[in-house]
Structure 1
Amino acid sequence: MKNNEITWGLKRSASLLAAGLLLALSANAAKAESVLRVGMTVSDIPDWSGQPDQGYEGARFVGWSLYDSLINWDLSRSDIEARMAPGLATEWAVDPQNDKRWIFKLRQGVKFHDSCEWNAKSALWNIERLTVQTVPQFNPVQYARQRSRTGNLDRAEVVDDYTLAIYSKTPDALFPYNFYNWFMISPCAGEAAKYDYSEFAKHPVGTGPYKFDKVNPRERLELVKNAEYWDKKRIPRHDRLVLLPMPESTTRTAALLSGQADFIEAPAPDMIDRLKESGAQIYTNEYPHVWVYAFNTRKGPFSNVKVRQAANYAINREEMVEMLNGLAVAAGSTYSEKSPFFGGAKPYDYQPEKAKALLREANCSPCEIRIAMSNSGSGMMQPLSMNELVKEQLEQVGFKVTLSVVDWNSIMSISQKGWEANPDYDAVNGANPIIDPVSAIFRRYTTASNAPQGLNWGWYNNAKVDELAKQAQQTFDVGKQTEIISEMHRLTTEDPPLLFVVRDLNPRALGPNVKGFVQAQSWFQDLTPITVE
C-alpha cells in the first residue's frame, strides 16, 4: 500500500508539473511577439534619421514606418493606382488671393513618439531643416536628398497653431506633389541631440506607425508597434518589424524558403515555381515605374538625338520580359497608354535595322559608350542580368558597351550630382518613379531641374518642353494642365532623354503564414495590416 501511495503521489506530482508547464507554455505563447521579417533589395539599412537614402525603398520601409509626411498615400487598395491622402496635414489649397501661397491645415491631437507636440511650429521646424542653411537643425546631407523637391520653395510661416503657409517662388499648381515624402521628425528629439543627427539616430523619433527599437548597421533594423498611432486603422497588426538588407535575389529567395524571412522584395524570377511549390505566396501588380537609362545629352554619343533614338529602337523588350519570367511589361516611353498623360506619344518598339541606320547617319559606328549601373537597389529588379541583356542588344546594332558596376548609394550620388561630376559616363541605369507629373517629367526633363538642382542627370534640354513646364505650373485647371503635360510626354518620347526598357510588375514573395497584405499600385506599401501566424 505504501508503495502504491508513493507511486500515486509521484504520478500526481508529475501531472501537476505537466499541467503547470502547459499553463506556462500557454502564457508564454500568448505573450510571444509576432514578428515580420522583411528582405529588402538594398545592401545596407536605409538612413533612419529623417530623409532616408536608398531611393524609394528607403522611403517605403523606413520613412513611412517611423515617420509621416504632410501628405501620405492611400495604400489600402490593389485595384487602382494609389493616390495621395491626408497625412499630418488634413487639407491643403492655394490661397485664392496669392497663387504663390499654399495653406496647409494640420492634423490636431498628434504627438511624436516622445510626446513632443505636432503643430505648426514643429512643421515649420521640419520645413526649415531641409531648406534654411542658417537654422541649427539644418541637415546638408538630407537637404541634398530632398533638393529636387525644394527648388521652387521660397519660405514657410506659421499662421496659427495648426495652420502653415508655404510659399513658392513662382506660381506652381503642382506644388503639393513635393510634400508626400517630406518626413517629419521630433523637434524635441532633435534639440535634445543638440542637432547632431548621428546622435539623433541612436533613438530617432517620428509620428509613424512604428517606433525605433534597435539597429545593427548592414544587418538589421528593428521597429516595434506604435499602439498609440493617430490613424487607428493603421496600427500594426504585428508587434515587431525587422528590416534585413539582402541585395542578391537568390539570397532573398533562399531566406524565405529557409524561414529566415517572411516577406521579400523582388524574388529571383527563375525560382518563382520553387517558391510556389513551397507554399509561398507570389504577389504582382502594376505600378508607376519604368526601368531606364538616363542619357548624357551634353557630351559624348548621346548628345546626338539620332543616337538616343537608335538605342531605343535597339531594345527587344519582349525578350527582356521573357528573361524576367513575365514579371514585367515592355516600356517604350515614360507613360503607358493607360495614363491620362500619354497623349499622342509613339512608344519605341524593336526595330534593329532602323537603329543601325540611325547610327550610320550619326556617324557613330562602332558607337562606344560607358554605362554606370548597380547590382541592387530600389526598383532595380534584376539589374545584373538585365544590364547584360541590354548590352548584348545594343552591341547587335553597332554600339560598343562598357558596364561599370557600383553600389546603389553610389548610383544615387551620381544621379543627384549630374553628369559634370561624372563626365566619363554616357548613361546611368536607374528606375524612375512616375508617381506624379513632377517625379515623371518636371524633375527629370526640364532645364530648371538640371542636376544637382533636380534629377535631370544628363542635362537634357528642349526649349519647347521648358516652355510647356512653365505653362503647366501656372495652370490650375486640371483638364488644361493634363493636355499640357501630355504634349510634354509626346515631345520627350520623340526626342528621348532616356532609354526606356520595361515596367516592373513589382513581384514580392510572402511566406504561407503571412496574411493581410494588400499590394498597392505604388512604390510604397503598407505593412501595418499584415499578421504573422
Structure 2
Amino acid sequence: MHPLAGTIARTIQKKNTERHHTVSAKLQRTALAALALASSLAWAQTPPNVLVVGQIAEPQSLDPHAVTAVNDFRILVNIYDGLVRYADGTLEVEPALAESWDVSDDGITYTFQLREGVEFHDGTPFNAEAVVFNFERMLDENHPYHDTGPFPLAFYFGEVDTVEATGDHEVTFNLSEPFAPFLSNLAYPTGLIISPEAVREHGEDVGRSPAGTGPFQFEEWVSNSRVTVSRNDNYWEGAPDLEAVIFRPITDANTRVAEMMAGGIDMMVEVPPDNVATFANDASFTVYEEAGPHLWFLILNMKEGPMQSREVRQAINYAIDKEALVNDVLQGTATVAAGPTPPAFNWAYNEDLDPYPHDPERARELLAEAGYEGADLTFYVTEGGSGMLDPLSMGAAIQADLDDIGLNVSIETYEWNTFLGLVNPGLEGKADMAQMAWMTNDPDTLPFLALRTEAWPEEGGFNSGYYSNPEVDELLTRARQSTDLEERAELYKAMQEIVYEDAPWAFIANWQQNAVATDQVQNFRLQPSFLLELRDVSKP
C-alpha cells in the first residue's frame, strides 16, 4: 500500500473515533482510492463503489452560505439539504427537509412543516431552531455568528423580514413584500442548512469542517488534492449506494481529459468542446448533455474609460464573431446569446431580440462616433471555472476580433479563484472588461444580482461593471413582487430590450452543459440546475 493511502486511512479513523464511530470497509476503500492521487498519470483503476470526480477548480469553502461558484455547489448539494430542492430533471420545487408548506394569500408569510427525526452529521437534531439559526446568521448583522461570513448571496433572501420557530418542527418566514422567486431561491445552494453546532464549534473555519444532513458526510479536505465524503447511512431518504465520493480539483482541462482516459477519475464535468466527440465515440464512456439556464458574457466597465460610452459597448458586441466562437471554439456545444436572459427560461425569454450580428464595419463606425478609435483596453481572462467553457481560447479569439476594429487589447490571465477575487469586487481601476458566466435558477437571479444599481460591489452585489438604469431597476423590482406569471414575463422581456440596447455586457453564448463518466457509473443524470446530484448514483 502506498504510504499516502495509509495516512489517509489513519486520518479518517481518527476522525471517526472522535465521532464515536467505527471505521468501516468503505473508508478503507476511500483510502485506497487515494493511491491514484500520488501517482501522477500512472493511475490504478478507482475502487468499486467509490466515485472519483474531476472538478474544474479547488473549492473556496464548504460553507454553503459563503460561496458563489457552481464548482463548489456541486460538492455542497451532496453534503447538505435545504428545506426544498429542485425535482429531478426540472427547476420545479419539491419538498426536502420541509415536508410541506403554506403561503398566505398576500404572499407575505410562508409556513413550513419540517421532517422529524432528521439529524445533522455531527449527531445534533435538525429542527426549526436550526433553520432560524441558518437564516439569521446570514441576514442579521447582530447575530453572534454573522462574523463567520461573508455571505455574498444573502441577497437571495433580502425580503425576509423575520424567521421564527413557531413549533419544534414548524418554521415561519415573514417577508417584507411579496417575493416570487422565494421558493426557488430556497432550493438554490444558498438555502442549504448547516449544523448550528458545527458553526459554533468551528466559527469562520466551518467551511473546512462542514456538517449537514445530506446523503454524504464530510471526511477530509486536502488542499489542492481532494475533498472526500462518505455515505451517510442514516440519511432520511435512505442511504445512497456509493460508499464514498472523492472530488478532485484538476484545473487544467487537458489534464482532466488525460486522467479520465487513463482511469484515474470516474467522471468529469464541463468536458472541453474538442474532446466531446472523442468520448462519445468510445464505448467505455458515456457523455451526458443537458440544457440549462447559462450565460457566458463579458462584463464591461462602465465606471471609467471607453466603456462609459454606449457606442463603444455596442461596438464590442458587433465586433465579436459569436457564431465563430460557438461553432469553432466551442464545437457547437452552445448557442449565440441574444441578451441577459438565457432561453432556457422560455416563459420569460424575449424571442423578439436577435443576437448582435458580426458587423466589424458597424463597430468601427460606432468607435469613430464615440472618439475611441485605437483605444487601449485591459481584458481579464480566466484559466477556467464554473461554466466558463474554453475561456483561454475564447479570450484569444475575442482579442483578435477587437484588434480587427482597431482596439488594442491586453489580456491578463488568472486562476479561477484569484480571478473571482479580482472581478467580484468591481473592475474600477483594474480592467475594461472581464469574462464571466452565470448558471441560475430563476430569470430574476442574474439581472437582480448583477445589473441593478443597488447591486454595485460596494453594496454587496455582483454588478462589477457598475451598470445603472433606473428603468431596469424598476422593472426588476416589479417582476419579483408580482405573483402573476404572465405579468412577470412581460416585465422581464421589457428589461431585456433595455439591457440589449444599453449593452452593459457583451452577450456571447448559452451553453448546453455536459459531463462524461465511465461505463461503470450508473443512474447518473445531469440536472438543469447545473448541480451534481449523486445520491442515486452507483458504481458496482
> Counterparts in 2 of 1:123-138, with a 5 A limit?
123-138=131-146
Moved more, 332-341 or 520-529: 332-341
Assess, with a 3 A threshold, how the Cα gap between structure 1 residues 359 and 434 changes in structure 2: closer, same or farther.
Answer: farther
2:409 maps to: 401
> Is the CA contact (8 Å cut-off) linking 2:338 and 2:353 kept in structure 1?
no
Assess, with a 3 A threshold, how the Cα gap between structure 1 residues 413 and 156 changes in structure 2: closer, same or farther.
Answer: farther
1:17 maps to: none
> Is the CA contact (8 Å cut-off) linking 1:186 and 1:206 kept in structure 2?
yes
1:498 maps to: 505
Q: Aligned equivalents of 2:66 and 2:225: distance in 1?
A: 16
Amino acid in structure 2 at the alignment position of 1:424: K
Assess, with a 3 A threshold, how the Cα gap between structure 1 residues 126 and 288 changes in structure 2: closer, same or farther.
Answer: same
Aligned-pair CA distance for 1:252: 0.4
> Is the CA contact (8 Å cut-off) linking 1:147 and 1:454 kept in structure 2?
no
Aligned-pair CA distance for 1:215: 2.1
Equivalent position to 1:217, from 212, 215, 223: 223
Aligned-pair CA distance for 1:146: 2.4
> Is the CA contact (8 Å cut-off) linking 1:67 and 1:208 kept in structure 2?
yes
Aligned-pair CA distance for 1:161: 2.1
Q: Aligned equivalents of 1:41 and 1:376: distance in 2?
A: 7
The C-alpha deviation readout for 1:144-164, integer Å capped at 9, x for no partner, is x32432444433222222232
Q: Does 1:51 align with 2:65?
A: yes
Q: Aligned equivalents of 1:52 and 1:147: distance in 2?
A: 9
> Is the CA contact (8 Å cut-off) linking 1:296 and 1:458 kept in structure 2?
yes
Q: Does 1:300 align with 2:313?
A: no
The C-alpha deviation readout for 1:443-475, integer Å capped at 9, x for no partner, is 222112222422211121112111212222332
Q: What secondary structure sits across from 2:419 in the alignment?
A: helix
Q: Does 1:427 align with 2:441?
A: no
Equivalent position to 1:281, from 286, 291, 304: 286
> Counterparts in 2 of 1:103-122, with a 5 A limit?
103-122=111-130
Q: What secondary structure sits across from 2:403 in the alignment?
A: helix
Assess, with a 3 A threshold, how the Cα gap between structure 1 residues 351 and 201 changes in structure 2: closer, same or farther.
Answer: closer
1:37 maps to: 52
Equivalent position to 2:77, from 49, 55, 64: 64
Aligned-pair CA distance for 1:187: 1.6
Assess, with a 3 A threshold, how the Cα gap between structure 1 residues 412 and 169 changes in structure 2: closer, same or farther.
Answer: farther
Q: Aligned equivalents of 1:105 and 1:393: distance in 2?
A: 56
Q: What secondary structure sits across from 1:130 in the alignment?
A: helix
1:269 maps to: 273
Assess, with a 3 A threshold, how the Cα gap between structure 1 residues 153 and 449 changes in structure 2: closer, same or farther.
Answer: farther
> Is the CA contact (8 Å cut-off) linking 2:380 and 2:431 kept in structure 1?
yes
Aligned-pair CA distance for 1:484: 1.1
Amino acid in structure 2 at the alignment position of 1:462: N
> Is the CA contact (8 Å cut-off) linking 2:267 and 2:518 kept in structure 1?
yes
Q: Does 1:189 align with 2:207?
A: no
2:314 maps to: 309
Q: Aligned equivalents of 1:378 and 1:444: distance in 2?
A: 17
Q: Aligned equivalents of 2:406 and 2:95: distance in 1?
A: 51
Q: Does 1:249 align with 2:250?
A: no
Assess, with a 3 A threshold, how the Cα gap between structure 1 residues 411 and 363 changes in structure 2: closer, same or farther.
Answer: same
The C-alpha deviation readout for 1:287-326, integer Å capped at 9, x for no partner, is 1101111111221111111111111111212211222222
Moved more, 358-367 or 177-186: 177-186
1:513 maps to: 520
Amino acid in structure 2 at the alignment position of 1:255: E
2:180 maps to: 173
Q: What secondary structure sits across from 2:472 in the alignment?
A: helix
> Is the CA contact (8 Å cut-off) linking 1:45 and 1:219 kept in structure 2?
no
> Counterparts in 2 of 1:355-366, with a 5 A limit?
355-366=363-374
Assess, with a 3 A threshold, how the Cα gap between structure 1 residues 94 and 355 changes in structure 2: closer, same or farther.
Answer: farther
Q: What secondary structure sits across from 1:284 in the alignment?
A: strand
> Is the CA contact (8 Å cut-off) linking 2:295 and 2:342 kept in structure 1?
no
Aligned-pair CA distance for 1:208: 0.7
Q: What secondary structure sits across from 1:402 in the alignment?
A: strand
Assess, with a 3 A threshold, how the Cα gap between structure 1 residues 336 and 406 changes in structure 2: closer, same or farther.
Answer: closer
Equivalent position to 1:376, from 364, 367, 384: 384
Q: What secondary structure sits across from 1:515 in the alignment?
A: coil
Aligned-pair CA distance for 1:183: 2.1
> Is the CA contact (8 Å cut-off) linking 1:446 and 1:456 kept in structure 2?
yes
Q: What secondary structure sits across from 1:196 in the alignment?
A: helix
1:22 maps to: none
Q: Aligned equivalents of 1:46 and 1:236: distance in 2?
A: 26
Q: Does 1:450 align with 2:467?
A: no
Amino acid in structure 1 at the alignment position of 2:432: D
1:290 maps to: 295
Q: Aligned equivalents of 1:87 and 1:284: distance in 2?
A: 26
Q: Does 1:481 align with 2:488?
A: yes
Q: Aligned equivalents of 2:256 and 2:510: distance in 1?
A: 21
Q: Does 1:88 align with 2:97?
A: yes
Amino acid in structure 1 at the alignment position of 2:289: T
**How many residue pairs end up in the alignment?**
490
Q: Aligned equivalents of 2:213 and 2:150: distance in 1?
A: 19
Q: Aligned equivalents of 1:300 and 1:152: distance in 2?
A: 35
Q: Does 1:236 align with 2:250?
A: no
> Is the CA contact (8 Å cut-off) linking 2:315 and 2:364 kept in structure 1?
yes
Assess, with a 3 A threshold, how the Cα gap between structure 1 residues 429 and 474 changes in structure 2: closer, same or farther.
Answer: same
Q: Aligned equivalents of 2:222 and 2:415: distance in 1?
A: 20
Amino acid in structure 2 at the alignment position of 1:213: E
Amino acid in structure 2 at the alignment position of 1:432: W
Aligned-pair CA distance for 1:440: 2.5
Assess, with a 3 A threshold, how the Cα gap between structure 1 residues 362 and 434 changes in structure 2: closer, same or farther.
Answer: farther
2:531 maps to: 524
Aligned-pair CA distance for 1:33: 5.2
> Is the CA contact (8 Å cut-off) linking 1:55 and 1:412 kept in structure 2?
no
1:23 maps to: none
Q: Aligned equivalents of 2:84 and 2:347: distance in 1?
A: 22
Q: Aligned equivalents of 1:52 and 1:240: distance in 2?
A: 24
Across the aligned residues of Structure 1 and Structure 2, the Cα RMSD in angstroms comes to 2.4
The C-alpha deviation readout for 1:400-429, integer Å capped at 9, x for no partner, is 21111122123323343233xx42211221
Q: What secondary structure sits across from 1:320 in the alignment?
A: helix
Q: Aligned equivalents of 2:395 and 2:435: distance in 1?
A: 8
Assess, with a 3 A threshold, how the Cα gap between structure 1 residues 473 and 285 changes in structure 2: closer, same or farther.
Answer: closer
> Is the CA contact (8 Å cut-off) linking 2:292 and 2:529 kept in structure 1?
yes
> Is the CA contact (8 Å cut-off) linking 1:359 and 1:367 kept in structure 2?
no
Q: Which runs of 5+ in 2 are unaligned?
A: 1-27, 33-46
> Is the CA contact (8 Å cut-off) linking 1:284 and 1:508 kept in structure 2?
yes
TM (norm. structure 1) is 0.86
Identity among equivalent positions (%) equals: 27
Q: Which runs of 5+ in 1 are unaligned?
A: 1-27
Q: Aligned equivalents of 1:485 and 1:90: distance in 2?
A: 32
Amino acid in structure 1 at the alignment position of 2:515: R
Amino acid in structure 1 at the alignment position of 2:197: C
Moved more, 31-40 or 493-502: 31-40
Moved more, 210-219 or 147-156: 147-156
Aligned-pair CA distance for 1:52: 5.5
The C-alpha deviation readout for 1:483-532, integer Å capped at 9, x for no partner, is 11121122111222211111222121211222221122232131222222
